[in-house]
């Protein structure tokens, strides 16, 4: 099997992480891989924001928690109950969190951002680093409380966060996933 396919078939979402930070060269390689994703009309209007600072990660987690509690109409009861727990960590205690933001008015923003994050997840896996897509913050990126934090993180006012991933050395081993049969080739 070629190495690219092997990497694709063995990547899994990792939700348990070692408390050790990933190396700066590893983070840079992952972000570089993201920046080589295709983008509609080659616009590359995205911005990648990687957070490794422990205090900022705590602040991000608390902002997610409070924004869920303040916008309960968007959430299931079980997530609201989780958010009520002051000790909950929505980032699975991962040491690195990457946000991909992009222009609000670019109709390709979601697709472009998802492709960049897909590249990052695969590059991370090739380096032995685990990742998991996280939906909570992106779904809150239009709220006042999250916007205040995004501004503090240097994310432009005309951007929304379209996707986010956590990164870190895995503290769990996962078998390659099974996939549904979704392939239909018209000969």
Ligand X SMILES: Cc1cc2nc3c(=O)[nH]c(=O)nc-3n(C[C@H](O)[C@H](O)[C@H](O)COP(=O)(O)O)c2cc1C
Q: Note the residues at the interface with ligand X (CB under 6 A).
A: 12-13, 15, 132-136, 177
Which lies closer to ligand X via its Cβ, residue 12 or residue 55? 12
Which lies closer to ligand X via its Cβ, residue 68 or residue 155? 68
Alpha-carbon Rg for the chain, nearest whole angstrom, is 17
- The least CB distance from residue 72 to ligand X, in Å, is 17
Q: What is the rounded distance in angstroms from the CA atom of residue 112 to the CA atom of residue 107?
A: 9
Which lies closer to ligand X via its Cβ, residue 33 or residue 132? 132
Q: What is the rounded distance in angstroms from the CA atom of residue 134 to the CA atom of residue 112?
A: 17
- The least CB distance from residue 169 to ligand X, in Å, is 17
Q: At what angle do helices 144-152 and 54-70 cross, to 10 degrees?
A: 160
Nearest to 163 by CA among 110, 124, 122, 121: 110
Other residues' Cβ atoms within 10 Å of the Cβ of residue 147: 16
Which lies closer to ligand X via its Cβ, residue 15 or residue 47? 15
- The least CB distance from residue 94 to ligand X, in Å, is 11
Nearest to 167 by CA among 67, 79, 99, 88: 99
- The least CB distance from residue 11 to ligand X, in Å, is 7
């Amino acid at each position: 099997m070629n190495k690219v396919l092997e990497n694709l078939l063995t990547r899994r979402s990792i939700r348990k992480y070692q408390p050790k930070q990933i190396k700066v060269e590893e983070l840079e390689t992952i972000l570089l891989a993201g920046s080589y994703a295709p983008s509609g009309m080659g616009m590359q209007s995205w911005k990648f924001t990687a957070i490794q600072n422990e205090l900022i990660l705590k602040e991000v987690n608390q902002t997610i928690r409070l924004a869920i509690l303040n916008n309960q109409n968007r959430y299931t009861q079980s997530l609201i109950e989780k958010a009520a727990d002051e000790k909950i960590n929505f980032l699975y205690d991962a040491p690195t969190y990457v946000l991909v933001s992009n222009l609000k008015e670019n109709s390709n923003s979601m697709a472009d951002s998802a492709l960049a994050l897909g590249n990052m997840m695969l590059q991370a896996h090739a380096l032995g680093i685990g990742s998991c897509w996280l939906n909570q913050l992106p779904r809150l990126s239009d709220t006042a409380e999250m916007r205040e934090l995004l501004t503090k993180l240097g994310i432009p006012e005309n951007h929304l966060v379209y996707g986010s991933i956590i990164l870190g050395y895995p503290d769990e081993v996962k078998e390659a996933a099974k996939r549904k049969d979704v392939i239909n080739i018209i000969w």
